[in-house]
Structure 1
Amino acid sequence: MKFKSYVAKLFAQFVSNSEKNWMQHPIETQDKLFQELISVGKETEFGRDHQFSSIKTYEDFKRNVPIRDYEELKSYIEKVKEGKSNILWKGKPLYFAKTSGTTSGTKYIPITKESMPSHIKSARNALLNYISQTNSADFVSGKMIFLQGSPELEEINGINVGRLSGIVAHFVPKYLQKNRMPSWETNCMEDWEAKVDKVVEETLPENMTLISGIPPWLVMYFEKLIEKSGKKTIKEIFPNLQLMVTGGVNYNPYREKMIELIGEDLDVVQTYPASEGFIAYQDSLQKDDLLLLVNNGIFFEFIPTDEFFEENPTRISLKDVELDKDYVLILNTNAGLWGYNIGDTVRFTSLNPYRIIVSGRIKHYTSAFGEHVIAHEVEQAMQETLKIHPAQVSEFTVAPEVNPTTGLPYHEWFIEFAQQPVDMNAFRMELDQNLRKLNSYYDDLIVGSILQPLKISPIQKEGFNAYMKSQGKLGGQNKVPRLSNDRKIANVFLELGLVEK
């Protein structure tokens, strides 16, 4: 056994044992964390503005601290950007993670001395948990891709600024530096298409054992590798490839395409990282849900999605959540985010331990007719349909057509097929039936002849990449929303001529 692999197994067992305490006592862990956050927060400007000194319980906190999104917290963040101390958290943050928001423009998310280790430790523990499960650590001796945004940082009043993935690049352990791909110079490239081509060039001759990225990027990377090498599968190119680590979007809609490209159903660890904190990771290869990290510097709150836009929605902590119910995820963090609406919705699949799936975005849904269809439902409908009507789907998004030239309104599915179904109409009707089973409101609209069954508009190969490029968002950290409540994305597809005739 190679030395690195041996040491990794020992460390994985140690970490696995140490993690059991908080997993067995999640509510106590969250309660203790809540008190620690309040204790630090009361010394800040935000804490004084919201009477943290009088907060003893979670009920007190809810009365004092409203739910906010980035725009509503921006006045405090601007003070931090000006170089002021003790605004949202003690002192100044170490970094700002720079993200592109759909409604807020560029966001600057603080990362503090206390929160930075949480990002690093969680990514590490996701891999160590995999080693502990499988008793296999062979991948640590090969080459590993951690494709990131540029690690080059800017500075605002003494605070370093960059993409989260670029910031994290500065914390890759020394013992992994020699194994890490691509080169620093390639990671610094801003042109995404040129960057992927360079990654292909650098990795093609290497012994790649772990590859990490969001699924749409992995598909692009794998297709380019196959094209350049002349091989038929990724396993022919990288016979020792053992593991993929993904994040950002649900992996399941991409699974069949990945199996075809790779040549087998490779082990996959799904993660849920965000600039605001590392929220969850897949702790079992037998399950697709994610372990909620209740010990990771984040006190979680939840609001039922069907109440979110009400004046006084229900707002609960972890102990009161229920299975199979969609919640808007609210964060309170050791980076100084308080009552912060990250914009994601989650659904609990287990309460012992607490496991979740990301069911969508609170702003990304289709409800032009009152149906409130969410990402989890369209992804599940697609997954069930592909079991009956084999096809390969590279990417898809859904938009309402409220004013068709003829007939009733409908949902329009823009789908990029790697391989189209044999019978497109049968595929379409199966997809519609599956969505009706998952969303009773949608079913009522079909039954009541308010809507007609969905329609499919096939998108040309590489069409989604062309769309992202037209929006200036082609890159490893960006993805097309699964659903829209308007025709903005649909209209761009049509204007660019990306819909197949």
Structure 2
Amino acid sequence: MFLKSFAAKIFAKIVVSKIQKWAQNPVRTQQKVFETLIAEAKDTAFGKAHDFQNIESTTDFAEKVPVREYEDLKPYVDRVVAGEKDVLWPGNPIYFAKTSGTTSGAKYIPITKESMPHHVEAARNAILCYIHEKGDASFVDGKMIFLQGSPELSEQNGIKLGRLSGIVAHYVPKYLQKNRMPSWKTNCIPDWETKVDAIVQETKDENMTVISGIPSWVQMYFERLQEKTGKKVGELFKNFQLFIYGGVNYEPYRAKFEALIGRKVDSIELFPASEGFFAFQDKQDANGMLLLLDSGIFYEFIEAEHFFDKSPKRLTIGEVKVGVNYVMIVSTNAGLWAYNVGDTVQFTSTKPYRVVVSGRIKHFISAFGEHVIGKEVEQAMQEAIQQHGFAISEFTVAPQTNPNEGLPYHQWLIEFENEPESLQQIENTIDKAMQQQNAYYFDLIEGKILQPLQIKPLQRGSFTRYMKSQGKLGGQNKLPRLANDRKIAEKLLNLQK
């Protein structure tokens, strides 16, 4: 056993013990985080405007601080971007994580000296939990690849800005620098396809043990590796042991990945965002990710079903229930207050608190009142894949409200690896799974308001071409799993011509 892997096992034991302490005291842990946040920010411009001085409880906070989206917080962020201090959090942030906004252009999400360590520690601790559970740290002696955005940063009024993954790249521990791939030069290549080809060239002869990234982009890397070498990934990287991913559900990709790899490998799911690192998978056999309650983030939850009500009830961690779809609201030590991240989650456990990401509050289909969410379509797709044994590259779902004939329906646009013999059987399986999960959808089918869903197979490479056409190929960009309109669907269909 090498010294590095031996030390990792000892460190893993210490870290897991610390995690267990706060996980066993969730309400008290969150209360302490809440009190610290309010005390630290009471003299900021935001704190003064919202009377933080007189906030003594989470109920006071909910009364004084309304839920905000980025557009609502933007006037404060603009002041920070302009160089003003003590606006949302004491002093100035050390970074802005720049993301794409749908209605406000580029978003500038502040990262402070207090919040930055949690982004790094969470990813590290996810791996340490895995090491502790498996009792094996041999993979830390091999090469690790993190498919991410460019680490090159720009600067605005003395504050550095870039993509979150690029910012985090500057914090890879020294003891992993020699293991980390690709090279800095390759990581800075702006064109994603060129970058992937360069990564293939750099890694194909290395002892890769850990591979990390968003599944759809890692799939492209695997496919290019196979094209270049003629070997399956597992044959090429004999010691490849662990796949780390986040951003999207892995299950729809799993069959394709195992085919590309040639065997099964362990995986760890992460829930990172520019606004904070929220959760990671702490157990291989657990359903859901451990919600990080001691990382400078105070969580509130609103039932998704009532989110658009006039005054929806905001729940704290001790009030949530398993299986309910919640919109997650965060207040952080980066200066975000009652901020709607946009993600919806469901708790799979409350001892400890584990979550799965069920979708986006703005990404749903309810053209007919069906309230279909991302988790439901992914579960239905997973059941069909397991039952019929096919593999897909990607898929998205949109309502077809004005068909040429017959009743409206949900259109599933799927890029199959190999188109199955019977689309009808797959349509039947998926539709049945959707009806079982969603009572509204069941009623609409039974009531002859909707006809069963229809699949539209897409040409190979359609989703890649679509993302490229939108300037969102690679990095941390993700395709919406479903939409309440046909904007994405029509653009995909136009690419078939």
1:204 is aligned to 2:204? yes
1:335 is aligned to 2:334? yes
**Structure 2 counterparts to residues 30-429 of structure 1, below 5 A:** 30-231=30-231, 233-429=232-428
Q: How many residues align?
A: 497
SS at match of 1:316: coil
Please say which of residues 70-79 and 418-427 is displaced more in the overlay. Answer: 418-427
CA distance in 2, matches of 1:388, 1:192: 35
Amino acid at match of 1:429: N
CA contact (8 A) 1:390 1:421 kept: no
Q: How far has the Cα of 1:31 moved from its partner?
A: 0.3
Amino acid at match of 1:220: M
Give the structure 1 partner of residue 475 of structure 2.
Answer: 476
CA deviations over 1:99-145 (Å, ceiling 9, x no partner): 11223321100000100000011011001001000011111111100
CA deviations over 1:388-438 (Å, ceiling 9, x no partner): 211101110000000111110000000011123332111111111110101
CA distance in 1, matches of 2:471, 2:18: 44
CA distance in 2, matches of 1:420, 1:194: 29
CA distance in 1, matches of 2:33, 2:344: 22
CA distance in 1, matches of 2:379, 2:65: 36
CA distance in 2, matches of 1:201, 1:104: 39
CA contact (8 A) 1:364 1:481 kept: yes
CA contact (8 A) 1:298 1:332 kept: yes
What is the TM-score of this pair, normalised by structure 2? 0.99
SS at match of 1:169: helix
CA distance in 2, matches of 1:495, 1:304: 37
CA contact (8 A) 2:462 2:495 kept: no
CA contact (8 A) 2:458 2:496 kept: no
CA distance in 2, matches of 1:427, 1:336: 47
Q: How far has the Cα of 1:150 moved from its partner?
A: 1.0
**Sequence identity of aligned pairs in percent?**
58
CA contact (8 A) 2:38 2:52 kept: yes
Q: How far has the Cα of 1:235 moved from its partner?
A: 0.8
CA distance in 1, matches of 2:248, 2:287: 12
Where do 4+ consecutive residues of structure 1 move more than 4 Å? none
CA contact (8 A) 1:50 1:64 kept: yes
Q: How far has the Cα of 1:55 moved from its partner?
A: 0.2
CA distance in 2, matches of 1:274, 1:322: 24
Question: Residue 116 and residue 156 in structure 1: after superposition, are their counterparts in 2 closer, same or farther (change >3 A)?
Answer: same
CA distance in 1, matches of 2:439, 2:82: 50
SS at match of 1:425: helix
CA distance in 2, matches of 1:82, 1:408: 53
CA distance in 2, matches of 1:266, 1:128: 17
CA distance in 1, matches of 2:26, 2:263: 37
Q: How far has the Cα of 1:496 moved from its partner?
A: 1.7
CA distance in 2, matches of 1:413, 1:385: 13
Amino acid at match of 1:256: A
SS at match of 1:202: helix
What is the TM-score of this pair, normalised by structure 1? 0.98
Amino acid at match of 1:356: V
SS at match of 2:417: strand
CA deviations over 1:359-395 (Å, ceiling 9, x no partner): 0000000110000100000000111122221110111
Q: What is the RMSD computed on CA atoms of the aligned residues?
A: 0.8
1:458 is aligned to 2:457? yes
For structure 2, the residue ranges without an aligned partner over 5 or more in a row are: none
